[in-house]
Copies of this chain bind each other. A is one copy, B any other.
Amino acid sequence: MDALTLSEMSEEFETPTLLASDALKAVFRLHASGVAIITAATAQGEPIGFTATSVTSLGSNPPLASFNIAQGSSSFEHLQKGSLVAIHTLGNQNLALAQKLAGPKQDRFNEVDFVTGPEGLPLFPSATGYLIGRVREVFAVEANAVVVLDALSAKVSQEEVKPLLYFQRGYLTAGQRLSDNF
């Protein structure tokens, strides 16, 4: 099979070829993500947190997790090497919590049930689970950063979980199971 140039590819698929940031946006509109909430504490012990769709596992030995953040975010300075951080997994019942932690910063911990864990870390008992980790690396890339955590401890719900998803600028529930992968 002959190799195609980018303009020939355009003809092959009968759809326009998108470039650079248009390309990125169009493709990630087609990609679904799990929704999580990241929390930490300021040096003064104030809770901070935000809703994130970039949480991934980065290997189990040693156990590592990662998420992305804009360096311009007000949370970024509290997510440096050595910071204690919690990643909360969310289910359908946490929709309001996900929206709240994606909303105005000053309201995020108002009228929300949380407890204060080690080092002032805010924890949401209503989440389906949370992983506590310590920041090991912060990889800066342009205006953004990949934050890598060493996983320390976790609590998970014993109940059946329906994970909360994000897709095409909205929150979704998971649907039918198509196939197992054992």
Interface size class of A (residues with CB under 8 A): 35 or more
B181 and A169 contacting across the interface, CB-CB below 8 Å: yes
Distance (whole angstroms) from the CB of A116 to the closest CB of chain B: 5
**A66 to B, closest residue via Cβ:** B146
Q: Out of B5, B30, B55, B154, which one reaches A118, CB within 8 Å?
A: B5
Given contacts A21-B62, A125-B13, is CB(A89)–CB(B55) below 8 Å? no
A117 and B151 contacting across the interface, CB-CB below 8 Å: no
Within 8 A of B (CB), among A102-145: 102, 115-120, 123, 125, 128-132, 136-137, 139, 141-144
Listed in ascending order, the chain A residues whose CB lies under 8 Å from chain B are 1-6, 9-10, 12-13, 15-34, 36, 53-66, 68, 70, 87, 89, 91-92, 95, 99, 102, 115-120, 123, 125, 128-132, 136-137, 139, 141-144, 146, 148, 151-158, 161, 163-167, 169-182
Q: List 8 contacting pairs A-B, 8 Å CB cutoff, sorted by A.
A: A17-B153, A18-B154, A18-B155, A26-B156, A31-B163, A58-B141, A169-B182, A175-B175
